[in-house]
Chain A
Amino acid sequence: MSMPRFLVEGMLKGPLAERPPEPMSFAELGAEFETAVQRKLGRSLSIRQVDAGSCNACELEIHALGNAYYDLERFGLRFVASPRHAVVLLVTGPVTLNMREALERTYAATPGPKWVVAAGGCAIDGGLFADGYACAGGVADVIPVDIRIPGCPPTPIALLAGLLALLNGGKPLRGG
């Protein structure tokens, strides 16, 4: 009879979800556009995540966005299973040459308008793996990048602040 207890407790206790971070400014994110994105996006973002060569630390923190503390779906952010359903590609890792074609094809399969977020030091400039026989470099060396979220790996707060900036066009959140 443990499940009913969890469910009752869940109703009586407050949510674990925390106050969201202020969105980063476009300058902090190295944004390569100036127009207010949210007019095109409305109030939601469908995100297709692509690991193009990450050590999987970035994936762990991207996963954490879904836990009860960050609860990204309350902002209209959600991960989708296909690039066909996505408006944002969230790409991690130095792009390995073995993943280059898969990334290019995922980008091509994503309908426009679309934005590319490079998450983590490796995705921004290849990090410790820049150049060499197996890597193409940062994501921008393969497909156009719109914003960059730094960190090794970026914390869930940094990821949230970066994604919220896309949603809010670089303006502060209302209501918090």
Chain B
Amino acid sequence: MSWPRHLVDAAGWSGAIEALAAGRRTLAGLWGEPGLVHMATHADGEGAILSTPCPNGAYRSVSAWHAPAIRLERALFDLHGLRPDGALDKRPWLDHGRWTLRHPLGEALAATGPVPYPFLASEGENLHQIPVGPVHAGVIEPGHFRFTAAGETVVRLEERLGYVHRGLEGRLAGADLDRAAKLAGRASGDSTVAYAIAFARSAEDALGIEAPARAQWLRALMAELERLANHLGDIGAICNDAAFSLMHAHCGALREQVLRAAESAFGHRLMMDRVIPGGVAADITPEGARGIQALLRHIRDRLPRLVELYDDTASLQDRTVGTGRVSPELAARFGAGGFVGRASGRSFDARKAFPYAPYDVLNFGIRAREDGDVNARVWIRIEEVRESLGLVEQILDRLPSPPVHLGPPAGTGEGNALVESFRGDLFVWLRLAGGRVERAYLRDASWFQWPLLEAAIENNIVADFPLCNKSFNCSYAGVDL
């Protein structure tokens, strides 16, 4: 069900900012349109969207009172040219001065070329800076990390992203539903199923239709396979970043088996373009369903021993326990979703807080811990693997009957969805007109996790950064779009 959208004046906007700053509501998104800024917030399973006009191209800054909005406002300015009045950080975020124009989604201006980017200062004796990226040493996405260190100890980390900005929201505007669903599925490839579900549900919401029951269950099946593949791969990769390759090798083999089962069941290893507005592109194959059953048995056989290996290896625990700690206060303030939030006491999960089919009738638990370190994030993910195995089993046992797709009408309307990707909750809002996307906004879980990584690494040693970073595994493409 759609979150209501209200047009508010300056006083209503300020009231909303106050509620965020006081911690009464959580920020879910901040985006623009020509002459208008929208903000989505939620509390206690109730969501709302506020829109305020921008006379003279400006609106009252949210970030001046609520830090989690800083990068959202900077991105909004780069894309639309709408100024947040009172904002402290006015540096560009996505626009590196290299695009062919400025403010591509607003009143576009001619490009002015690259300008120097001042990093935040650190003061003290014997500090040195380490610039890393955008091209990194491993097979990972591009971004720049600026470390200031005193000896081995990190005093400050500042992230600079935007390198993989492809102009996705600009591409979505004007696209028909088929093309738009493909684009949304490429916001962040590791969460392609979650994005496709969020986009499809938003479009269905806008059109006032529902996907057939079987399609909704198959979507959840794909979403849980995606969660399993990512968690299994990352648990191994985190251990690998602590130089424990045995876990990596075994977890990597399990991840590969999940992807092969997905290919056999749905015809694509990452299940790209399988979730579409109106349902799913194809039903699960009979051999695919049997393959997933076999996969469940295999993972249930292997997982306890891998967990024991993780828990038993003191040299590994020595690296993960106490490293990269995020305080519960910070996780709550930023509304950090997924395992980053749950490892630091914030037990929010979109599947529970805003239950969507079929999660409203499935049994699963959400666990949270307070310790907030690399070890806690690993344990949360181990527990989520166990829960996902249970969810997959329940879904296969209770799959409703066909059809799996109903063609969406070429309608007009607004819709939104909050979906739990493996990383945490992601938010989509869109407006359709005559079967085409007029404006769509995608907010990745990473927007509210990346800033916490900067806090997590403080007072840790530089050499522990890969470990901390992998334990967050934030998306670059998902925030750069």
User: What residues make up the interface of A, taking CB atoms closer than 8 Å to B?
Assistant: 1-3, 5-7, 16, 49-64, 66-69, 79, 81-83, 93-94, 96-102, 106, 128-129, 132-135, 152-153, 155
Contact = CB atoms under 8 A, between A and B. Distances in A.
Contacts, number: 147
B164 A135 contact: no
B351 interface: no
B308 A57 contact: no
B310 to A, nearest CB: 9
Nearest to A127: B186
A16 B253 contact: yes
Interface string B81-104: 000000000000000101111001
B163 A98 contact: yes
A173 B312 CA distance: 43
Contact of B182 (A7, A101, A128, A155): A128
Nearest to B304: A2
A53 B143 CA distance: 11
Nearest to A101: B98
Please give me the 4 A-B residue pairs with the lowest Cβ-Cβ distance, nearest first: A57-B189, A134-B167, A81-B137, A67-B252
16 contacts: A1-B312, A2-B308, A6-B250, A55-B188, A56-B476, A57-B190, A57-B192, A64-B255, A64-B256, A66-B252, A67-B256, A98-B163, A102-B163, A128-B179, A134-B167, A134-B170
A39 to B, nearest CB: 28
A82 B168 CA distance: 30
A55 B312 contact: no
Interface string B114-147: 0000000000000000000011011111100000
B220 interface: no
A53 B98 contact: no
Contact of B140 (A3, A51, A93): A51
A52 B163 CA distance: 8
Interface string B171-196: 10000000100110011111010000
A101 B113 CA distance: 13
Nearest to B187: A55
Contact of B477 (A6, A50, A54, A69): A54
Nearest to A120: B189
Given A2-B312, A69-B256, A94-B166, A60 B270 contact: yes
A72 to B, nearest CB: 12
A97 B272 contact: no
Contacts of B272: 57, 152
B135 A106 contact: yes
B104 A59 contact: no
Contact of B141 (A56, A64, A100): A56
B53 to A, nearest CB: 26
B5 interface: no
Nearest to A69: B256
A133 to B, nearest CB: 5
Contacts of A5: 305
B475 interface: yes
Contact of B134 (A1, A54, A102): A102
A135 B166 contact: yes
B475 A133 contact: no
B142 A102 contact: yes
Contacts of A66: 252
A53 B166 contact: yes
Contacts of A99: 134, 142, 163-164
Contact of B139 (A69, A79, A96): A79
A6 B250 CA distance: 10
B165 interface: yes
Contact of B164 (A49, A54, A69, A101): A54
Interface in B430-481: 475-477
A3 B253 CA distance: 17
Nearest to B108: A133
A69 B134 CA distance: 30
A132 B137 contact: no
Contacts of A50: 135, 142
B249 interface: yes
Contact of B167 (A56, A60, A133): A133
B213 to A, nearest CB: 29
B259 A97 contact: no
Contacts of A62: 139
Given A98-B163, A98-B164, A128-B171, A59 B309 contact: no
A132 B259 CA distance: 33
A134 B166 contact: yes
A102 to B, nearest CB: 5
A2 B312 CA distance: 7
Nearest to A81: B137
Instruction: Give the most central of A7, A81, A94, A129: most B CB within 10 Å.
Output: A129
Contact of B165 (A54, A57, A60, A134): A134
B369 interface: no
